[in-house]
Amino acid sequence: MPKAVIRAVLLLVVASPALAAEPVLAEPVLDRVTLSSGGVGQFEFTADVEGAATLPLAVPLDQVDDLLKSLRVDDPAGGLPSLRLPGREPLTESFRPLPFGPAAFNSPEALLGALIGEAVRVPATGIAGHILAVTPFDTALPDNGGTLTRHRLTIATDTGIATAVLQDMPGVEFESEPLRRQIASALTAIAAQRVQDRRTVQLSLSDGGRRSVRFGYVVPAPVWKASYRLTIPDGDAPGPAALQGFAVVENLSGQDWRNVEVLLTSGQPVLYHQPLYEAVFTTRPEAPVEVPNRTTPPLDAGAVPLQAAQQLASPPSPPMAPAPFVRRLQETDAASAPPPPSETRQSMAQVEFRLAGRVTAASGETMLLPIVSRTIPARRVSLFQPDADPHHPLVALLLTNDGAGALPPGLVTLFERRADGSARFIGDARLPVVQPGAERLLSFAADLAISIDTSQGADSHVTSGRAASGVLELLRRERATTTYRITTQAGPGRTVLIEQPRRDGWSLVEPSGPIGLTPTQYRITRAIPPGVTETVEVVLERPRSERIVLADAGTPRLLAMAEEGRLAPELRAAMTRAAGLRTELDRRSAAARGLTDRRAALVADQDRVRKNLAAVPANSELQRRFLGQLQQQETQLATLQAQSDAAQRAADDADAALKDYLATLTL
């Protein structure tokens, strides 16, 4: 019995490669590419291995994070595979234990200058000792040709100090064998660093027999685009439309595709990126110095009752079984029809197209790959969208997706089939996602054979009312009417689809019959004969409440409510009585204000007389006259005050009568 295939999350092994056994290298082959319209690609490889094996894989540096996140392996031998790759900064790590840095290899004098104190020997001269210094100096070039910088190597020998010009030496040998190994290791690291944007991943597999191993990972990839061609019958001839769908695919993976199986998925997957290929260090909390008899309790974060915490957990929903692949043949005789360009599988999250043939493409190539070839139900309509054209509808096709999977969004180039079999271009349209069984409209031209005039109207009327505690509550019905006058020319008739905007709180009351509903529009269908003018009225209604404080309402408002024929007779009679009380209150209040105004005018005249009295001689005829006027005005003021008090009491009584009546009114 062969071992079960294990799909395992990879373990990142940090042990030194020197501690591992020498595995057998195997060359993986790219076998399958799955491109998502969400902007990622799943690249799957196969490799025939025997025993313990290591699979090398070169990937771009910016894809290593995603490889570490998504790499999965199917190995019939079982076990957990391991993964090794150079660190993110391998050159820095390689030089960390060395006595010099990468800059030491900029020139021979830089290396020797970084190794002051190391033992060296100059074979040409026999000088041996320790490097003491590397000193630059300038020499003049002949014929005033400028200067040349050279370097003098100073070596401390057993007997003294020897110098020589470095550029004149055929070579310098290092006496230390460990140092020579360190220099060779550093040069190897520099050579490996030349390809800075790629990393070679070593995937180590467990020991086992001869077997085929499959592994893959998900990394960013160009979004593939859907492109359609739709050919409809000539004129008003009946029959389905011929749909051809293609996928525009770019191979920007950095490697050639050779006889690769290609799958295309259309959906909206959730995508994350995590920096797994970076060393992450955490900050440690500071612990206080322990002092006898001193405690530092932790802060309380609160508590949740155990029963409540248990109720928060809910069992996960069982996973949905994937839908089987379904071949969608053209609606012709299956025995004579050509095979479809792809297999379609519809799942809960996406639709998948498995291309019928394998693909070969060089890195950087762009391809146009067929994914759909079948007939699709379609009929012509005239779609009126006032925002697109206020006077003419658009020629549109009403498509029904009767296929096994959703049609991804994309542009559609439309053609019309001529009688001789050729096709002529008639327009472009945008196709949204069309789920199986769904209908979508494709608008592609203006229908100039139809003109539509639009007018608006609005009205409001009371439908009912009630009074309580001095407040009248009215329920009104508001109506908004849009009238469409549709005129067709001679020729074939039209099926006109009118899109009427939906409004929050409003409902459609006219016309009756089946009405289409989009997220933002009502869709009203009318069959219009040729050469006629027809009118379509669309009426929207909404209820609206109105609150009137009756004590603040004037007589005209109360009389208007009394004449509102849609109110109950008892309520209308009450409004008539309230209007009468309000009229009496207004009359008495006006009388009281008139007396108050007369008294104020008389007081102002008294001030004038007093000023005149102060300006005339004492015991004069004018003084006696002004004194007589003041006496008469005082008498009049007393009479007006009494009349004003009585008038105000009458107004207060009328106001109380109105308020008492309204407060007890309940209808």
Q: What was the pLDDT predicted at 224?
A: 94
Residue 488 lies inside a defined structural domain of this protein: yes
- Same domain? 463 vs 607: no
Is residue 195 in some structural domain? no
Query: Around Cβ 287, how many Cβ atoms within 10 Å?
Result: 7
Categorize the per-residue pLDDT at 424 as very low, low, confident or very high, splitting at 50, 70 and 90.
Answer: very high
Within a domain: residue 297?
A: no
The segment with the largest mean pLDDT, out of 13-17, 328-332, 629-633, is 629-633
pTM score, whole prediction: 0.64
Of residues 142 and 130, which shows the higher confidence score? 130
Helix, strand, coil percent values for the chain (each to nearest 5): 25, 40, 35
The structural domain count of the chain equals 4
Task: Indicate the residue type of 418.
Answer: R
- What is the mean pLDDT of the segment spanning 414-443? 90
Print the SS3 string covering 279-327.
CCCCCCCCCCCCCCCCCCCCCCCCCCCHHHHHHHCCCCCCCCCCCCCEC
502 with 367, same domain?
Answer: no
Same domain, 390 and 427: yes
Q: Cα–Cα–Cα angle for 575, 580, 584, nearest 5°? A: 145
Segment among 24-33, 162-171, 295-304 with least mean pLDDT: 295-304
What is the distance between the alpha carbons of residues 212 and 31, in angstroms, rounded to a whole number?
A: 12
Do 613 and 595 lie in one domain? The reply is: yes
**Given a cut of 70, is residue 625 above it in pLDDT?**
yes
Contact 61, 198 (CB under 8 A): yes
Indicate if 506 and 399 belong to the same structural domain. no
Nearest C-alpha neighbor of 232 from the set 224, 222, 223, 243: 243
SS3 345: strand
Q: Is residue 3 part of a domain?
A: no
**8 A C-beta contact, residue 522 and residue 516:** yes
Q: Which of 206, 240, 216, 223 is nearest to 37 (CA)?
A: 223
Q: Which domain holds residue 154?
A: 119-140+150-174
* Amino acid at site 205: L
Please write the tens of the pLDDT for every residue from 41-92.
Answer: 999 999 999 888 888 888 888 889 999 999 999 999 887 888 888 776 666 6
Residues 193 and 93: their CA atoms lie apart, in Å, by 12
| Whether residues 525 and 596 fall in one domain | no
Give, for 494, the enclosing helix (H) or strand (E).
strand 494-501
Within-domain flag for 57 = no
Residue-by-residue DSSP string for 451-485: EEEEEEEEEEEEEEEEEETTEEEEEEEEEEEEEEE
Token couple for 374: 């079948």
Out of 448, 475, 491, pick the residue that ends a domain: 448
**Residue 482 to residue 452: CA distance in whole angstroms:** 12
Residue 497 exposed, middle or buried by CB count within 10 Å (0-12, 13-18, 19+):
buried
Per-residue pLDDT tens digits for 431-483 = 989 999 888 889 998 898 899 999 999 998 888 889 888 898 989 899 999 99
Q: How far is CA 49 from CA 42, 211, 601, 622, 623, in A?
A: 22, 6, 119, 139, 138
% the chain with pLDDT above 70: 86
What value does the mean pLDDT take over residues 603-610? 85
C-alpha to C-alpha distance for 131 and 152, rounded to whole angstroms: 11
Q: Is 13 part of a structural domain of the chain?
A: no
For the residues of 214-241, what is the DSSP string, one character each? EEEEEEE-PPPEEEEEEEE-STT--SPE
User: Closest Cα partner for 241 from 423, 382, 448?
Assistant: 423
Q: Which long-range contacts link 421-426 to residues 24+ away (Cβ below 8 Å)?
A: 423/231
Residue 277: closest CA among 124, 53, 60, 529: 60
Percent of the chain at pLDDT exceeding 90:
33
Pair 569, 465: CB distance under 8 Å: no
Residues 373 and 391 in one domain: yes
In angstroms, the CA 2 to CA 329 distance is: 38
Looking at the structure, tell me whether residues 353 and 484 fall in a common domain.
Answer: no
Query: Same domain for 361 and 465?
Result: no
Confidence at residue 289, expressed as pLDDT on a 0 to 100 scale: 65
Residue 23 lies in a domain: no
Query: What is the full DSSP assignment across 12-78?
Result: E--S-GGGS--PEE---EEEEEEEETTSEEEEEEEEEE-SSEEEEEEEEGGGHHHHHHH-EEEETT-
Cα separation of 173 and 127, whole Å?
A: 11
- Classify residue 580: in a domain, yes or no: yes
Q: Which of 415, 448, 481 is the last residue of a domain?
A: 448
Residues 426 and 470 occupy one common structural domain = no
Q: What is the pLDDT of residue 93?
A: 66
How confident is the model over 646-653, as a mean pLDDT?
90
Instruction: Based on the fold, state whether residues 437 and 454 are members of the same structural domain.
Output: no
Output the pLDDT for position 25. Answer: 60
Tokens of 639: 């009479």
Based on the fold, state whether residues 250 and 385 are members of the same structural domain: yes
User: Quick check: helix, strand or coil at residue 120?
Assistant: strand
Cα 38 from Cα 263, distance rounded (Å): 14
Angle at 120 between CA 114 and CA 123, to 5 degrees: 130
- Which of 391, 426, 448 is the C-terminal boundary of a domain? 448
Q: With contact defined as beta carbons under 8 Å apart, do 605 and 502 qualify?
A: no
CA distances from residue 179 to 106, 118, 157, 254 in whole angstroms, order as listed: 18, 9, 19, 39
For every residue of 179-194, DSSP letters joined together read HHHHHHHHHHHHHHTT
